[in-house]
Amino acid sequence: MRSWRAWLGIAISAVFLYIAFRGQNLGEVRDALGEANLWWVPPALVLYFIGVWIRAARWNILLAPLAKSDSRQLFPVVVVGYMANNVLPLRTGEIVRAYLIRRKYNVRKTSVLATIAVERIFDGLTMLGFMLVATAFVSFTSELRHLAIITFVLFTGLLVGLFLLTLGGTLLDRLIQLVLGPLPTRIADSVERLTESFLSGLGVFRNRRDLLRVASLSLAAWLFEASMYYTIARGFGTVIRDAMGIAATLMTTGVANMATLIPSSPGYIGQFEFGVKLVLNGALDVPQNQALAYAILVHAALYFPITIWGVIEWSRQHLSFRQVRDVTEEGDAPQPVPPETGAAVPSGS
């Protein structure tokens, strides 16, 4: 809490919370939430965790050029990362995931972060796809239209940019030297090593079949998560059930998760509720109290189970908050692989 980044995240969440709940009677939200049938939550969680497993399988493909891993080993790391995002500010969970992979497989942290960046790009493009498919049945408000345009420009640009980086060649070398030229030699050497490390994490772009597998698994993972949204909606009254058809579910999943990409306080409190309300109340005319009640229940289902599981895995990994603090400040030198892991050091990067 002494970090300015933590307070910045809290401030961002506070703004979104204010916008989401502005003018709303909290008692009405509580009453709408109290009428929900919670028996729909357990099957929804099963669908959600299948999606998390698929994300581990996707990450295994992205890490393949760097380390010999498998989905079973990566699943606990993904869970710990999600838990850390839920309890630490500004997506620190991504740093935790990179640290655990570095410790287990002796892979540079920057290389692992590159694979996570690719994940986020495919997540964003999948969410955009959900929104575009839903437009055939759900009318865009001006806010949703602006969000779709920003998403398209941002994630398409990032995807193209990363792809061009993997092409390498003389032009890229010249560009790197142009940027590093004015820097002191020590800093330039450090930045060049980080750049090379980051580029080594983009190996998936050199294999079209793997790239297609990553895109397919991204779609599958998000469809399972969207199924969770749909299932929880069955436990609400007719207004929510009727509003949350397949198209509306895809739209809500896309917009709510787009909102959480903004770095914020732990657990994306505020952004998620704002995103769900933007669709249900803004585009589908669901009363605000019911839209917020639904958002709170879905958010709780996304937050508490995986956080509890992640805490258990955190203890199994023998992690501490001091290690997390240190790893956000330290360099990117590889670590020796602990003998008990039996992990092979990746070659070629």
Q: What digits encode the pLDDT tens for the residues 212-258?
A: 999 999 999 999 999 999 999 999 999 999 999 999 999 999 999 98
How much of the chain, in percent, has pLDDT values that exceed 90?
52
Query: What is the model's pLDDT at position 172?
Result: 62
* Residue with the larger pLDDT of the pair 13 and 80: 80
Among the listed residues 236, 243, 246, 230, the one whose alpha carbon sits nearest the alpha carbon of residue 283: 243
- pLDDT bucket at 206, cuts 50 / 70 / 90: confident
What is the rounded (10 degree) CA torsion for 87, 92, 95, 97? 30
Which of 89-100 are b and which e, b meaning 16 or more Cβ less than 10 Å from the residue's Cβ? bbbbbbbbbbbb
- pLDDT bucket at 348, cuts 50 / 70 / 90: very low
Among the listed residues 270, 289, 282, 275, the one whose alpha carbon sits nearest the alpha carbon of residue 34: 289
Query: In this structure, what token pair is assigned to residue 315?
Result: 């203890």
- Model-level pTM? 0.87
Q: Is the pLDDT of residue 93 over 60?
A: yes
Mean pLDDT of 108-133: 92
